[in-house]
Copies of this chain bind each other. A is one copy, B any other.
């Protein structure tokens, strides 16, 4: 059984595919909700299934620190620990070490750092990261990579690319669980030649899938799109491509159009907890006073549990009153919107109508269609 099957090459670089894991199939392109600490914040597995979640992401850095990989392994791995029987992807911890941890000291072997939770000393290396991810037991796991900040000089990014390639090789060698698919992560910042080098390095190692890291980290949208346009052609067509950390409707659509199959982001659940609903017409800050007596659902026509059962007036009250149900209701809605958006995109790829859909999408935002570098 092939891990990834490319079912259709659609308009531009968009594609339809299926990923097969020990915990079920995933129709791509797919958005993956983030369960950083073995919980997609506020939600149960049943609620995720109801809105169509096929796979979730969890964070190795966080789980390594708390509760620790052994506690998760003791429960039989992440699936049984958190009661989620569909697919899971874990990241390598690399990005979090570089963005969250304190007092990092990086060398060619790995990274020493202090926990952002309690200042305790820790070390991650390609081997340690893979070892932790084997204990966590996700279906798809990531190579340990170095993520330079944005902006960074070309020399810094080049060094990170070289280290990431060496670390990918070491991780691949160390990895022994055959039921897990280990992805390589392409780095290279916004430098075309470095992206090309990174992609070629990793592709030569023949991973079952490739992630595109180091984007959506503060660079302008156009630069991200351009980077995708010159990175994706260096990735093999028969392997899934995963753009890390992307989860807004515009980025998802442009990512798919540019050949990406998988996405994840905390954005939809994070803004939900702050009172912002994602809709096709733009964001709605539900906690604003203007909605105090508004008896419409968050988004008219939406079929999610929240919109079928609650008004803006009620949800606004829950936010003002600090009620946890508010966070749940908007999390459900926002993830539902992203999942239905991706399902619609898959339909448009199937029907060869993605270009039209894309043009209408940008028209509705009142913005020009982003340039595409073929």
Contacts and interface: CB of A to CB of B under 8 A. Distances in A.
Contacts of A311: 75, 81
Interface stretch (A11-19, A143-151, A181-189, A312-320): A312-320
A358 interface: no
Contacts of A328: 42, 44, 324, 328
Interface in A119-156: none
A353 interface: no
A314 B72 CA distance: 8
B42 A324 contact: yes
Contacts of A55: none
A337 to B, nearest CB: 19
Interface residues of A, number: 34
Interface string A332-369: 00000000000000000000000000000000000000
A320 B71 CA distance: 13
A58 B15 CA distance: 52
A280 interface: no
B74 A317 contact: no
A159 to B, nearest CB: 34
A314 B82 contact: yes
Contact of A38 (B75, B293, B317): B317
A81 B327 contact: no
A59 to B, nearest CB: 11
B39 A71 contact: no
A221 interface: no
17 contacts: A38-B314, A38-B317, A38-B318, A38-B321, A41-B324, A42-B325, A43-B325, A66-B321, A67-B317, A71-B292, A71-B293, A71-B313, A75-B311, A81-B314, A324-B327, A324-B328, A328-B328
